[in-house]
Structure formats: structure tokens, C-alpha cells
Amino acid sequence: MGINGKTRVCAIIGDPVEHSLSPAMHNAAFRKLGLNLVYLAFKVTKNELKDAISGARSLGLRGLNVTMPHKNAVIKYLDEIGSEAKAIGAVNTILNDQGKLVGYNTDGKGAMIALQENHISTDEKKMLLLGAGGAAKAIAFQAEQDVEELVIVNRTIETAEQLAELLWKKFGKKVKGKTLSAGVLKEEMETTDILVNATSVGMYPDINKSPVPSDLLHSDLCVMDIIYNPLETKLVKDAKAVGAKVVSGLEMLLYQGAIAFEIWTNCSAPVDVMKKAALSKLAEQGDID
Ligand SMILES: NC(=O)c1ccc[n+]([C@@H]2O[C@H](COP(=O)([O-])OP(=O)(O)OC[C@H]3O[C@@H](n4cnc5c(N)ncnc54)[C@H](OP(=O)(O)O)[C@@H]3O)[C@@H](O)[C@H]2O)c1
């Protein structure tokens, strides 16, 4: 559908956003379904956030994705926050519902759907989650509702402990927060079913780094690395080499995007089309700097 007087806009705001795969993913989906929507990327600095949200309101944008560094700061400019986003303290999707801006967080659900779609069941499983930053927190909130046991390890122990305590208070289920160290990894990995890397270790340009020594990986393990740049991290390569099941960060990106798409359009997301568009954008971009 061509752009006309009735075309509505969705966009991602963040800093940086130039290499975001979301415009390719969402525009391909809008085209596939013949929706009169277009998706853009706007670089918005911290100082510009308030004005950007006010602008989105005045211009009647249909929806926004919010990325670093605004996921937390944006909350104070919205009219309503979904319960999950409120608990996590981070919004990655905004719906403009007839002038009311409603904030959601689709990261955690996106990660869990990525596991399901790759036939990885979380029932009665132990998940070892590396990291306690924004993405880890969103994943932890979803995972805690599904897995038998959750262990969160982070370089900064205090953040892991705070997250574990928050989850314990909210869900009343067993959860541990520990330091990301060789000793802890060795101890925890022996009984882990699902390993999720939600740290930025291994992300471009540090592509030869992995948060987990390769000798701790085994073939019974499922490994999801939420980093998608590079598409295949060292952790994913090491996991594949020992015969473990792997899920790339692109899958989480895809499903968090699919949920956002459904929030804005009330239509089922054409996931295959979105994946193809994201992969071809990645191939076109090569390494992202
Ligand atoms: N696939 C997706 O859809 C998706 C969505 C969101 C994010 N991501 C990716 O997930 C990663 C984390 O994003 P985020 O938003 O959660 O960032 P964040 O809030 O800044 O958290 C970063 C996490 O990485 C840890 N970390 C950073 N450098 C480390 C190092 N050298 N050694 C050990 N731990 C280290 C931090 O530990 P400390 O607390 O000790 O600093 C923290 O736990 C990024 O690579 C991002 O691109 C992917």
C-alpha cells in the first residue's frame, strides 16, 4: 500500500538506532498484510525524550518501540503501564490508544516464545540466566512463572540479588542470585537444562568472548544467547560444537517484535516474513559497528 493521507506511523526511538532491524521487520509485515502503516527509526537523545514522546502524541503516531537508553526513563511520560512493564520498570513498546499512551514490555514474552518455537520446554527445568540488566530482568519475570528453578548470575552480585528478591516477593518461588564467576558457573552448569545469556559479553566487537567456558557446555543443554550481533556468538558456536540445542538472539528479537506488531495492529504477526526481512537486513549490514 502506498503512503497517503491516512498512513499512520510506528517508530523505534533510542540512541543509537541507525542499525536497528525493526524497521525492516515491521515494514515487511505491514506490506504483507496490506496495512496502511509505516515504521521509521528516530535517534532520540536522553535530553530529547520528553519532547519526542510529546511529539509522538501530537502527531498521532500509532506505536513506538523504545530501546536503550530510554526503556526506564520513558515510563514517566506515559498514561498507563502494563503490569509486567511496571514490575520490571522498563517499557519497550508503546501503543497510542486514541491519544492515551500505554507502555508494555514484550522482551520477556518474546524470549519465552523463542524457546517454545524451538521446541524447548521450560516445564520442570532449571534455567541459568546470565545477567541482571534490563533484558535479563524481563526474561526473569517470564521465566520465573514457567521454570522449576531459576538461578540468576551477574557480574555485579547486588543486582542479581535484588532481582532474585523482587521475584521471590512477586511469585513466592525459589530463585537464587549469585556472582558470575568460574566457580559458580561450574557448580550451577552441572544441573542446568536451559542456559540464557542476557549479558552483553560476546556482542560485537568482542565477538571472541563468551561468558561461559566451553568445557562447561554439554549436549543435554539448551542455550539461548539473546545477542543477535553477531548472529552466531562464540557461546552459540561452542554450544553447537558439543551438540547442545541453540537459539539465537534474532529469535527473541523477532518474537518481541511480533508481540508489539499485534499490540499495534490487532492482527496476527506474519513471523516468517518478519524473520526473512531481519535476516536479509543483517546480511546487508554485515558487522554492525
Ligand atoms: N534479542 C533481543 O531481542 C534483545 C533484547 C534486548 C537486549 N538484547 C541484548 O542483550 C544484551 C543486554 O542488554 P540489556 O538491555 O539488558 O543491557 P544492560 O541493561 O546494560 O545489561 C547488561 C548486562 O550485561 C552484563 N555485562 C556487561 N558487560 C559485562 C562483562 N564484561 N562481564 C560480565 N557481565 C557483563 C551487565 O552486568 P553488570 O550488572 O555487572 O554491569 C548486565 O547484567 C545486549 O547485548 C543487547 O543487545 C537483545
**Model pLDDT for residues 51-76, shown as the tens digit of each residue:** 999 999 999 999 999 999 999 999 99
Catalytic residue (choose from 71, 125, 178, 275): 71
Question: pLDDT grade, residue 187 (50/70/90)?
Answer: very high
The 8-class DSSP code of residue 32 comes to H
Is residue 167 within 8 A of residue 150, CB to CB? The reply is yes
Mean pLDDT of 181-191: 97
Question: pLDDT grade, residue 289 (50/70/90)?
Answer: very low
Residue 81: helix, strand or coil by DSSP? strand
- The pick from 20, 157, 199 for probing ligand 1's pocket by mutation, whose C-beta has the most ligand atoms within 8 angstroms, reads 199
* Residue 32 Cα distances to 37, 147, 202, 224, angstroms: 11, 36, 34, 29
* 71 is annotated as an active-site residue: yes
| Average per-residue pLDDT for the chain | 96
Question: pLDDT grade, residue 285 (50/70/90)?
Answer: confident
Question: pLDDT grade, residue 233 (50/70/90)?
Answer: very high
Q: How much distance in Å is there from the Cα of 203 to the middle of ligand 1?
A: 9
Helix (H) or strand (E) holding 103: strand 100-104
Task: Determine the Cα–Cα distance for residues 23 and 27; give it in Å rounded to an integer.
Answer: 6
Of 111, 103, 105, 38, the C-alpha closest to 77 is 103
Mean pLDDT of 131-156: 95
Residues with CB under 6 A from ligand 1: 68, 107, 131-136, 154-156, 159, 180, 198-201, 203, 226-228, 249, 252-253, 256
pLDDT over 80 (residue 172): yes
Question: pLDDT grade, residue 174 (50/70/90)?
Answer: confident
pLDDT over 90 (residue 137): yes
* Contacts of residue 223, Cβ cutoff 8 Å, sequence gap at least 6: 194, 195, 196, 197, 217, 235, 236, 239, 244, 245, 246, 247
- Give the count of alpha carbons within 13 A of 135, CB side only: 22
Closest ligand 1 atom, CA of 156? 40
- Residue 12: the pLDDT is 98
Structure confidence by residue, pLDDT tens digits, 95-130: 999 999 999 999 999 999 999 999 999 999 999 999
- Residue 177: the pLDDT is 97
Task: Determine the Cα–Cα distance for residues 185 and 147; give it in Å rounded to an integer.
Answer: 19
- Residue 173: the pLDDT is 87
